[in-house]
Amino acid sequence: MPRSDTEPTASRPDLVTERLALTGLDYPIPAAANRFRHMLGGLTAFFLTILVLTGVYLAQFYDPSPEGAYDSVRFIIVRAPLGDWIRSLHYWSAGAAVLTITAHLAVTFWRRVYRRPREITWWAGVAMAGLLFLFLVTGTALRNDQEGSEALAHFVAGGNLTGLLGRFFTPEFTASTPLLSRIFSLHTSALPLALVALMGLHFWLIRHLGISVRSDGSSVFRTHLRRLTGVALLTFAVVGFAAVLFPEGLGYPAVAGAEITKPFWPVLWIYGLENLLGAWGMILGPTLLFGFLALTPLFDRSEADRRGWVSWTGLLLGLVVVGFWLYGVFGEAQQHIGM
């Protein structure tokens, strides 16, 4: 239908905005939310999306059987179209997601955003951080090289230590499917499903409870989203260049029973802890850290602005984690299983 000259056009949304109802994104948010430190959660979501996309691509070439896994990773590096870069992008995006989620968690913890009414938003975030940790360790096992084999051996050792709770991570769980195949299934189906559910809950709560930022000015969410997309694309370029310049390697075929490699850098704090406690370190460390984070909203219910013991305990715990991480980085490789 031809448009009438008398029809008002000034406030009419453009074609895309109208058809995708993008005006629904124009709800008000504090202007301060457009600062970088309030984009960390969004950046994490961006990198998780990159991880899903690159992961789907890698899964087309990966063979999750113990006999075929290693060769299929070699195939990805040597033959699969763009496979080497996409695998490296997967690796670097995982590291970037760890950095942004850790920074996001630290900022929100220090600002005590977990207090009423955002307890569930916080718990969803902590659960996502825990899931990301599981993604890292299951992903490492899939390499099925020496490092991957040691990661798998850690699953078995952890499973044996925790009895029924950890039985899933032992070969005894079922004789029908190898553990590596089940770890692959966990990495590519169960964990992503849980992540999407938690992310949905997290975003829903942020949308309806609002972003916890003190600000005089006002903006709209679409502006935030555009700036976030700009920052995300720039960081993607950085990560993409890193994947070109420092492609992820592959270790030698595994020698069963050997324990000589160090894990992916985000997990090195647990490695440091294992240097002290043996295999129990991988159970106690994450349990203590994530347990503390989960209980934080219950411990700190004060509405006063002054930080209390929970904040300082969290800071201390963070420093301890950094200490163990440094120990993991600079300490000598050690045998932990059977220590």
Partner 1 sequence: MTKFLLALMVATATPGGTLNLAYHPEATLKVSPASVAAGGSLSVEGSRFEAGDHYKLVLQGVLDEYPLLEVEADAGGLFTLEITIPSEADPGRYRLVALAPDGDASAGVDLSVTAAPAMGAAMADVHEEEAGEHPHDEEMRGGAAGMPMTGGGAMARSDDIVIERNRSGVAWGVIGLLLGLSLGFGAALLKRTPA
Residues that bind partner 1 (CB under 8 A): 31, 34-35, 63, 65, 67-68, 70-72, 74-75, 77-85, 146-147, 219, 223, 226-227, 229-234, 236-237, 240-241, 244, 247, 249-262, 332-335
CA distance 102 to 28: 27
Category of 210 on φ-ψ map: left (φ > 0), alpha (ψ -120 to 50) or beta:
left
Q: Which residue has the tokens 């056009």?
A: 9
Return the SS3 of 29. Answer: strand
φ, ψ (nearest 5 deg) of residue 28 = -75, 145
In the block, tokens 């078995």 appear at: 156
Nearer of residues 232 and 283 to partner 1, judged by Cβ: 232
Residue closer to partner 1 (CB basis): 162 or 223: 223
Nearer to partner 1, 291 or 338 (CB): 338
Residue 302 beta carbon to partner 1: minimum distance, rounded to whole angstroms? 32
Would you mind telling me the total number of residues written for the chain in this entry? 339
Tell me which residue of 309, 325, 294 sits closest to 126, measured CA to CA: 294
67-71 contact pairs (CB < 8 A, 24+): 69/142, 69/143, 69/144, 69/148, 69/180, 70/143, 70/144, 70/145, 70/250, 70/253, 70/254
Tell me which residue has tokens 């440094």.
326
| CB closer to partner 1 out of 77 and 283 | 77
Minimum CB–partner distance for residue 152 and partner 1 (Å) = 14
> Which CB sits closer to partner 1, 260 or 298?
260
Question: Which of these, 262, 203, 243, lies nearest to 93 by C-alpha position?
Answer: 243
Instruction: Find the shortest distance in angstroms from Cβ 35 to partner 1.
Output: 8
Closest distance of CB 319 from partner 1, Å: 29
**Shortest CB 335 distance to partner 1, Å:** 5
- Compute CA 32 distance to the chain's CA centroid, rounded to the nearest angstrom: 25
- Least distance in Å: CB of 260 to partner 1? 4
Complex with partner 1: residue 237 or 295, whichever CB lies closer: 237
Give residue 107's identity as a one-letter amino acid code.
Answer: V
Least distance from C-beta 101 to partner 1, angstroms?
A: 21
Task: For partner 1, give the closer residue by CB, 233 or 322.
Answer: 233
